Structure 1
């Protein structure tokens, strides 16, 4: 029997068409996570082998993922080791093209413009920068030149429990948007991310979720990735793989407070929760 042909990547929206396609429904789009890293906090080492990473991507697509977010450098707040662009590319090259061929939009999770440029050349369509265009001086210009949507995330080098975290997030994102505007990135290609778990105490991460609606003042879609994050364990002690219930609770709150994209390791369960919540709201 002839093998089934791979989906054509030309069917995936690109540029300015990506976000409208993802945000057109009454419930948030779901981004599935594939980490080709040895040290990510939740699944480090599980998907380093290309065949394992591809199998996981297929599972996430089958579970309803609207986007696959693939990253090759752990950015966990504690214990991760920075890697070179060359090492990121070494990890990505055996798998990215096959993930793109699955036929859903692919986001490249990297803070390095060299890596993002290569990934966009291979068919990725979204840049996901955990330092919000503020670490790599070439990132904003690259994104603008390619016309790619970009996820701009709030981050800090370390948590400071004394600060007003929402003011800090707002100030950081305002700086990022100024960088984006000066580079020529169109506003309709920007997604904001409050950076749950990044440079925040657990209490500040929960505050960001509770007060997420304040980010609506920017007039841009918001992504939330609370999946398996450490703050869940401060409420109910648990290991990352045991935090599905807390992750879904956080993501339902995020959706209620305006999140339009949810980033998660557990796609099928999150899709079900978001769609059921939307169906219940429709009955009001």
Structure 2
């Protein structure tokens, strides 16, 4: 596990803290919630529930990750910028992250109060890291497959001689570049990019070998929630993948990942608290058994 504190916005997280990042999709075609949080009212209610359930970070996205209708930068900004400002005002101590690959959107959301730019597409727009540096914002550096990466595309017969070696080369390179540009080192995370540019076996291997990522100088974020690698492993549809997701979450926590991007916050929080208690970095909430 990386031994440095993680500093995001106004929050500092110790190396022992396991942090939940709640997914708030501002899209009408999300693969999981199918547009449930597209309206401002529904999205704010989702933020309130997530924070109450234990999320320290909310990750706001304005474009579906997979293929779908084109969303211009202007439309993405319209979906995210005013909402970021609203969340920032309503939850001053919550870390606000925005899932975007576009530098112009990143600049707009940082001006509205975002603390983190979650670049799920592996630096396809190199200007995004420059924006993060200019605003002193955090940055998530993700492995999204072979270069050049095309956002919102699915992998097709992709292959790696060594998938973890490829992941490490890409994300460490992106992280070092971001730090050289001026993004605070304590605010940079790396993400193996489950499903992005990978088939199910690649994502399983990335999970199994996550310790190689956590052994680097960078804190690791994992985005496992209800993804296809879980669905294909268990042959289950999207709405039946929670248990598989939580199993992958527990393994990732044991191997040292520090931030968990999740749809189901309360369940994820319980798994992380249990792993931390087993590891010895968290006390049980109560201790009665055998003491009376």
Both structures adopt the same fold (TM-score exceeding 0.5): yes
Matched, 1:168 2:177: no
Instruction: Tell me, yes or no, if the aligned pair for 1:22 and 1:66 is still in contact at 8 Å.
Output: no
2:248 matched residue in structure 1: 250
**Which of 2, 18, 32 is the equivalent residue of 2:22?**
32
**Which of 251, 256, 259 is the equivalent residue of 2:257?**
259
Cα offset, 1:94, TM superposition: 4.5
Cα offset, 1:25, TM superposition: 6.2
1:193 matched residue in structure 2: 191
2:33 matched residue in structure 1: 43
Matched, 1:141 2:141: no
Matched, 1:154 2:143: yes
Moved more, 242-251 or 79-88: 79-88
TM normalised by structure 2 equals 0.84
Instruction: Tell me, yes or no, if the aligned pair for 1:46 and 1:52 is still in contact at 8 Å.
Output: yes
1:6 matched residue in structure 2: none
Give the 5 Å matches for 1:203-218.
203-218=201-216
Q: Provide, for residues 83-127 of structure 1, a one-character-per-residue CA deviation record: whole Å limited to 9, x for no partner.
A: 211010121244222222223111011111111111111111111
Matched, 1:99 2:87: yes
TM normalised by structure 1 equals 0.87
Cα offset, 1:261, TM superposition: 0.5
Provide the C-alpha distance between the structure 1 equivalents of 2:75 and 2:228, rounded to a whole number of angstroms: 27
Q: How many residues align?
A: 265
Residues 175 and 201 from structure 1, CA distance in 2 versus in 1: closer, same or farther, beyond 3 angstroms? same
2:237 matched residue in structure 1: 239
Instruction: Tell me, yes or no, if the aligned pair for 1:50 and 1:94 is still in contact at 8 Å.
Output: no
Cα offset, 1:259, TM superposition: 0.2
2:277 matched residue in structure 1: 279
> Can you give the 5+ residue segments of structure 1 that lack an aligned partner in the other structure?
1-15
Cα offset, 1:22, TM superposition: 4.6
Matched, 1:67 2:57: yes
SS in 1 for 2:32: coil
1:118 matched residue in structure 2: 108
Instruction: Tell me, yes or no, if the aligned pair for 1:111 and 1:135 is still in contact at 8 Å.
Output: yes
SS in 1 for 2:271: helix
Q: Provide, for residues 5-26 of structure 1, a one-character-per-residue CA deviation record: whole Å limited to 9, x for no partner.
A: xxxxxxxxxxx84279453163
> Can you give the 5+ residue segments of structure 2 that lack an aligned partner in the other structure?
1-5, 150-154, 284-292
Instruction: Tell me, yes or no, if the aligned pair for 2:136 and 2:182 is still in contact at 8 Å.
Output: no
Provide the C-alpha distance between the structure 1 equivalents of 2:139 and 2:176, rounded to a whole number of angstroms: 14
